[in-house]
Amino acid sequence: MTDSPSETSNSNSNNNVNVVSDIPFEIVSEEEMAIFDAALAFASRSSLSLASSSSSSLLHGHASSVGPVSVLSKRRLSGCSQTSPVREIEDSGPQCQGSPNKKKGRLTDSLLHRFRRRRGLSVTDITASEWCEKQMEFSLLLGKPESTKAMKAGSIRHAKLEEEVVKKVAISVETLEDIWAVKFMNFIVGVNQLMFDGLTRELPLVGFVEGVWMVGVTDEVRMPLTGTVRNPILVDTKTRAQATLPSEPQCRNGRIQLMCYKHLWDSLAAEKFPSSLFFDFYSLNPHHILLEEIRDNTAKSGFPAKTLDDLVRYFRNTCSMLPPANEKLLLRYELQEDNSLLGEDEFDFDLVWLKSRIQSSLEFWKGEREATYTPQEERWKCRYCKFASVCPSNTNTNSASPQR
């Protein structure tokens, strides 16, 4: 169930947005809603970049970006490019019309089983369903919204931020094992960059939390510059089309996203990565011989690996050296026009509250209950929803006006 503003303020009483200048607050705009549509269109962002520290011998690099890939059956992925992501096999069947045939207690009928069975949930799956479960359901059953100008601008900005600390090279991949190998390489090299330079960006995370496999890519990780606390700070940058700070539902959504990243990070730091379960869930062969190009890159980066299992062992060793992430999390809001800083939202991690939100979302994903609609006080979201015309709750989308 979606949080009400009062519930959020109670559980995040120490959260506050630091305003850089006297900027008016706004509920949402057409362009800003497009950014939330992006959460549905790209529900499992998968960056296959290899970051490197300028002060170390680690390799700068980037692998070809590959979209979410089903592992129900093996297939070659050669020729994949950044601009043409591989389509998810489980999403490539006939488009379903109408509501899903839900049967209480039947996990095989759930959205989790039908659309994320061999893929796991992304952090964006959690935030998109928190924004509106019915919208998430429609996006899976009726098709994802098309990319918009605002979405493209946000992607371009994040790519530029990554390029400030990462030099990219292309690595071809042929199997799912190769794809995961590159992800683990990205993580290992990114953590090394963090330790050497105090900063890394677009760091892929994967972990088993709250009984499910979850993946995500955190925008930025910083090491504190002062003080004795050396817990890395997780940062996420949001771009906005207008010079306004976000509404409370948008702030809440961003906070959940960053808290999920910390939850994943902390589970890895606590060495809670079940390798056997990982190989089994994703149908991966741990003894798969990696491509020569990948083996060469791991050797140059200081952790020579012949098989996927070798690389997972290095990954787990790297995780064992990590401290938990900082309890303070940081959301940054930038204006798309000139990348100027609109404001920062520094807030405290709340594990109890986060777990309650994830568990509520999992009830929806596992088919334990029907999708809920956005609450009445946030029904203004419906005016920007691509599925408003077919949504049963859409009796009058203008009935709930934004409250400024």
* Two structure tokens written together for 69: 């890939």
pLDDT of residue 144: 72
Residues 6 or more apart in contact with residue 66 via CB below 8 angstroms: 46, 48, 77, 80, 85, 86, 173, 179
Q: Residue 164: what pLDDT?
A: 78
- The C-alpha torsion from 351 through 356 and 360 to 363, rounded to 10°, is 90
Domain map (residue ranges) of the chain: 24-67+107-385
Residue-level pLDDT at 106: 53
pLDDT, tens digit, 9 for 90 and up, residues 305-336: 999 999 999 999 999 999 999 999 999 999 99
CB atoms within 10 A of CB 303: 21
Give the residues of the chain that fall short of pLDDT 70.
Answer: 1-108, 145-151, 395-404
Cα angle 130, 258, 280; round to 5: 80
Residue 341: phi and psi, rounded to 5, are -80, 120
pLDDT confidence of residue 300: 93
Give the pLDDT of residue 395.
60
Q: What pLDDT was estimated at residue 73?
A: 26
Distance set, CA 26 to CA 12, 330, 349, 384 (Å): 21, 20, 25, 15
The pLDDT value recorded for residue 12 is 40
Encoded tokens for 71: 């592992």
What pLDDT score does 62 carry? 36
Three-state DSSP state, 58:
coil
